């Protein structure tokens, strides 16, 4: 059994699930307003830089399930380390940097398709987890246990390869990498300010 997650992690999970049900009801109109559309399209709006991260593919439960499962597994230890305020700040910085990375890619490629999902923030959380808990064992689908630092390094490298080669089209690999970049920059900034890993502002 999982312990009840701390408040910020729980709030994010609940918000994502509630928005998922709203998305099921709202359909294409909901996607049109709140997914992240390329700036070249008439559907782009500034608020989409945040709202896209609460939407998921309604064609499969796997998208929201694995994002929320990762948040449930890795989020609580970071929130307990930092406190809810810092954890939420970190989460939304990763959301924004993932969005900006994806917009840069869609602008360069001329893509007309929207982006949605919490994966950019989740990848930021994974990077932070690997930095603060590098030796904690992570098992992929219950097998191949490995240290968190190795798991995240391999995962990030795979995302870079998939993004550059376009082997797995339809997945926002550069948004994932953008979330990791946001995580690295945020943690680096905190450390430069002398805010040690105890989570004080």
Any idea what the CATH number is for the domain that residue 69 is in? 1.20.1540.10
CB neighbour list of residue 115: distance below 8 Å, 6 or more residues apart: 35, 36, 52, 99, 102, 106, 172, 175
Residues in the chain: 201
Residue 6 lies in a domain: no
Q: Residues 36, 102: contact at Cβ < 8 Å?
A: yes
Residue 56 lies in a domain: yes
Residue 140 lies in a domain: yes
Q: Which domain holds residue 59?
A: 16-192
Per-residue pLDDT of the chain (201 residues; tens, 9 = 90+): 467 889 999 999 999 999 999 999 988 899 999 999 999 999 999 999 999 999 999 988 999 999 999 999 999 999 999 999 999 999 999 999 999 999 999 998 888 889 999 999 999 999 999 999 999 888 766 667 888 888 888 877 877 777 676 676 667 888 999 999 999 999 999 988 875 445 444
Global pTM exceeds 0.85: yes
CA distance 129 to 127: 5
Residue 74 lies in a domain: yes
Residue 77 lies in a domain: yes
Residue 49 lies in a domain: yes
From the DSSP assignment, how many helices (H) and strands (E) are in the chain?
7, 2
CA distance 115 to 102: 8
Residue 187 lies in a domain: yes
Specify the DSSP element, H or E, that contains 172: none
Give the count of domains, the chain: 1
Q: Residues 71, 125: contact at Cβ < 8 Å?
A: yes
Q: How far is CA 189 from CA 46, 69, 81, in A?
A: 25, 28, 17
Q: Residues 79, 139: contact at Cβ < 8 Å?
A: no
């Amino acid at each position: 059994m999982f312990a009840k997650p701390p408040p910020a992690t729980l709030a994010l999970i609940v918000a994502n699930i509630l928005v998922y049900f709203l998305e099921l009801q709202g359909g294409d109109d909901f996607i049109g307003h709140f997914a992240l559309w390329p700036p070249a399209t008439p559907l782009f709006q500034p608020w989409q830089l945040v709202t896209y991260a609460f939407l998921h593919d309604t064609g499969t439960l796997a998208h929201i399930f694995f994002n929320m499962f990762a948040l449930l597994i890795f989020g609580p230890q970071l929130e307990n380390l930092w406190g809810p305020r810092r954890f939420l700040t970190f989460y939304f910085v990763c959301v924004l940097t993932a969005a900006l990375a994806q917009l840069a890619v869609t602008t360069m490629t001329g893509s007309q398709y929207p982006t949605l999902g919490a994966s950019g923030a989740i990848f930021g959380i994974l990077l932070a987890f690997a930095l603060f808990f590098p030796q904690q064992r992570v098992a992929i689908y219950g097998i191949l246990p490995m240290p968190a630092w190795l798991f995240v390094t391999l995962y990030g490298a795979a995302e870079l390869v998939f993004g550059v080669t376009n082997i797995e089209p339809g997945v926002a690999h550069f948004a994932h990498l953008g979330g990791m970049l946001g995580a690295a920059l945020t943690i680096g900034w905190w450390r430069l300010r002398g805010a040690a890993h105890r989570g004080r502002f």
